[in-house]
Amino acid sequence: MASNPSRISLTRYLVEQQRNSAHGDDDTRGLIPAQLRLLLEVVARACKGISQAVNKGALGGILGSAESENVQGEVQKKLDIIANEVLIEANEWGGNLAAMASEEMDTIHLIPGRYPQGEYLLLFDPLDGSSNIDVNVSIGTIFSVLKKPEDHPGVHEGDFLQAGTQQVAAGYCLYGPQTTLVLTVGAGVAMFTLDREQGSFVLTQEDVQIPADTKEFAINMSNMRHWDAPVKRYIDECLAGKDGPRGKDFNMRWIASMVSDVHRILTRGGIFMYPWDKREPHKAGKLRLMYEANPMSWLIEQAGGASTDGRQRILDIQPSQLHQRVAVVLGSKNEVERVTQYHREAQAPAANA
């Protein structure tokens, strides 16, 4: 069948990103090397495999718990482990990577000596939102790509501890009514929908833009009594609706799957919050910086949104541990800035002190 010129495949999109500099030869924003293009195509193929497994559900005998725990101390689902293995096996032989890191693995996974070593580091949450697997609610894979530092041979965990601004690619694959791959290489955000008949991802949206304002917030309200004052202030004002200080009514969504909530925000705006709370005060937050907050924050910023931990830009955070957690406030720029301002005001010394 003649290719439909309006149907741009992921491969063609990435080749065009690799070839064209949209802003003249001196601007390499979004220009990607062939090795990175090939890596992203492998990740996309792995996500297709995960999508097939997820779609089998009970028929695949792969629902339910794996009777094991991950480094986070969370009970692993069978599909968590399957998704992790799919990503490891797909990515270890291609020569694009020096190592991988996963929410499901305590330490980094080095590329076996029998395979060529590459210049990139791949980090992922293989199946985010896995508490939703058994109830047939959307889940997804989140991934982030860094360059391995070139100042020393070999690779160690410290090579992964780079701020989110150092990412060269980031994205997620959402396993919902459609299987949708969302990606940035630094030249905006593009969305690709899996054409199951062709078995390929087709470009369905590019230059995604998040509205600066919104009437929709996403937070787990059951934690309200544990929140810090600035978060409670913001949510109380949203709940007060048009009779309150915001002068408008708000809607709430909470899917308990970050990939799904972020996808909604990229699609129609909104604010997503998983703030620090008093339940485990020694933890900065619930979500992980390296393979959840950083890739999602870059996508959100590339789409014109903002992302902070309540006080600072998430992408500027210098990580100290591979699995460190962070508070997350991301989405429509003006709302994120309001929440961040409330945190600043709460920290400012009292005017008459």
Residues that bind ligand P6P (CB under 6 A): 128-129, 131, 220, 256-258, 274, 286-287
Least distance to ligand P6P, CB of residue 129, Å: 4
- What is the nearest approach in angstroms of ligand P6P to the Cβ of residue 287? 6
Going through the chain in order, the beta strands assigned E by DSSP cover: 65-69, 75-77, 97-102, 109-110, 120-128, 139-147, 169-175, 179-184, 189-195, 200-205, 216-218, 251-252, 271-274, 287-288, 306-308, 325-326, 328-331
Assigned token pair, 44: 């996309």
What is d(CA 126, CA 103) in angstroms, rounded to the nearest whole number? Answer: 7
Q: Which residues contact 229 (CB under 8 A, 6 or more apart)?
A: 346
Q: Which is nearer to ligand P6P, 209 or 220 (CB)?
A: 220
Give SS3 for 23.
coil
Quote the Cα angle for 178-293-345, to 5°: 125
Helix axes 258-268, 294-302, angle to 10 degrees: 10
Backbone angles phi, psi at 317, to 5 degrees: -70, 130
For the bound state, the minimum distance from the C-beta of residue 136 to ligand P6P, rounded and expressed in Å, comes to 16
Instruction: List the one residue out of 2, 96, 11, 8 whose CA is nearest residue 48.
Output: 11
Minimum distance from residue 258 beta carbon to ligand P6P (Å)? 3
Q: Which amino acid is at 56?
A: K
Give me the least distance between CB of 330 and ligand P6P, in Å please: 11
Question: Min. distance of Cβ 128 from ligand P6P in angstroms?
Answer: 5
Question: What is the distance between the alpha carbons of residues 146 and 264, in angstroms, rounded to a whole number?
Answer: 26
Tokens of 43: 């990740």
Rank residues 14 and 139 by Cβ distance to ligand P6P and give the closer one.
Answer: 139
Q: What are phi and psi of 274, to 5 degrees?
A: -125, 85
Sign of the Cα pseudo-torsion (306, 312, 318, 320, in order): negative
Distance CA 182, CA 171 (A): 5
Q: Residue 166 CB, nearest distance to ligand P6P (Å)?
A: 23
| Shorter beta-carbon distance to ligand P6P: residue 208 or 258 | 258
Cβ-based nearer residue to ligand P6P, 210 or 259: 259
**Which lies closer to ligand P6P via its Cβ, residue 13 or residue 272?**
272
Question: 76 or 257, CB closer to ligand P6P?
Answer: 257
β-strand partners of 136: none
- Closer CB to ligand P6P, 141 or 179, in the complex: 141
Least distance in angstroms from the C-beta of 174 to ligand P6P: 12
Least distance to ligand P6P, CB of residue 86, Å? 19
Instruction: Pick between residue 201 and residue 274 the one whose CB is nearest to ligand P6P.
Output: 274
* 179 neighbors 193 (Cβ within 8 angstroms): yes
> Hey, what are 338's tokens?
């309001």
Q: Would you say 187 or 287 has its CB closer to ligand P6P?
A: 287
